[in-house]
Chains A and B, each alone.
Chain A
Amino acid sequence: METAIEIKNLVTHYGDVKVLKDVSFSIPKGKTTVILGGSGSGKSTLLKHLIGLLKPTTGQILMNGGDIAVMNEQEFNEVRKRIGVLFQGAALLNSLTVADNVALPMREHTQLEESTMQVMIRMKLDLVGLSGFENYYPSQLSGGMKKRAGIARAMALDPAFLFFDEPSAGLDPITAAGLDELILKLRQAFKMTFIVVTHEMPSVFKIADYVVMLDRGDAVFAGTLDELRASDNERIRMFLERRSEKEVYSPEDYFRIIAGD
């Protein structure tokens, strides 16, 4: 498998708290990689590093021929053109129509004629099933439609990498399943590398070619779905079988904590 992104010994802190602890793994090119993990596992923090919103304390993120962990703003701008992101809340600009939201990256980064952009906008919206919604405002769209519009905008510049941050968050199961179908369709049609951060297991089993699992800041697994299913790692089994954590404290420890000893 050809590698698209390589993460080497990534360590990051929020204040004194180590959030990512020496994380290393590779993301294969042209596949859908799901970054899986529970709340507080560090998966959203990892995503923010991969799209250049955060810099690690130490470690490397090798992508597009360079280490984005140490790139300056100007160098990263070139990489940024090759990255599309669907943010959790879709992050559409409410004062702009759907068409203008999709056009935003084109207007920002290219010298294309307005007429060419209009054709491209219609193509992108058709891809995500939103033909005819060009002149709608985000507030006039349902949650699922907003996400689709967000995907159209993320694809505006035909990126090599498409990132999804919790795409199913806040969606009903039917709409979420529709979004999974769309991700599958896009992945089959384009030779892009998809990186999806989620904790929704039905989504994982539907869309993933490759899975990375984070647990409390460590990458505890990287492999295929079959390898994930076969894993005997206790934390992975708990996640797959939806088992809750055992009591962390003994009654004596709990008493000491609340009594302030």
Chain B
Amino acid sequence: MKIDIVDYKGHLIITPSGDIDMYSSPELRSELMRLITKKTKALYVDFRNVSYIDSSGIATFVEGLKKMKLYGGRLKLIGLPEGIMEIFRFSKLDNIFEIYGNIDDAVGS
């Protein structure tokens, strides 16, 4: 997995690519927590290049969301491929996370 963090019109977008699994989740977690520790108001995660996510990846985002809620931050997930959306649905998390089709919709919400 590769993780890029890009600035889109002043908004921080985390863009992982490849598999988010037991072996890559710790790296993703460390990037996520670094930004959360700074109390970043809104974080965007672009899933368009993510091919697979396992339960450790889901757990990482659950941890992130829990920490952001404590200071009123928002974690927004963008462009989830259908297979990954299915996993969020099955985990009953599709209504917990803010999920958007694209970055402009996410920024505008």
Q: Between A and B, how many residue pairs show CB distances below 8 Å? A: 40
Chain A residues closer than 8 Å to B63, beta-carbon distance: 115-116, 119
The reply to whether B29 and A113 contact each other, CB–CB distance below 8 Å, is yes
Main secondary structure of the interface of A (DSSP, over half): helix
Residues of A within 8 A of B23 (CB): 110-111
A189 at the interface (CB under 8 A from B): yes
Complex interface: chain A residues within 8 A of B85 (CB): none
B62 touches A119 (CB 8 A): yes
Chain A interfacial residues counted at CB < 8 A: 16
Chain B residues with CB under 8 A of A63: none
- In the complex, per-residue mask of A93-122: 1 if CB is within 8 Å of any chain B CB, else 0: 000000000000010011111011101100
Q: Which of A111, A115, A123 is in CB contact (< 8 Å) with B55?
A: A123
A110–B26 alpha-carbon span in the complex (Å):
9
Asked whether A120 lies within 8 Å of B26 as measured between CB atoms, the reply is: no
Within the complex, what minimum Cβ distance (angstroms) separates A148 from chain B? 17
Known contacts: A115-B63, A116-B60, A119-B62. The answer to whether A124 contacts B26 by CB under 8 A is no
Known: A110-B23, A111-B26, A116-B25. 7 other contacts (CB 8 A): A111-B23, A112-B26, A115-B63, A116-B56, A120-B56, A124-B55, A158-B55
Interface, chain B (partner A; CB < 8 A): 21-23, 25-26, 29, 54-56, 58-60, 62-63, 90-91
Chain A residues with CB under 8 Å of chain B are: 106, 109-113, 115-117, 119-120, 123-124, 157-158, 189
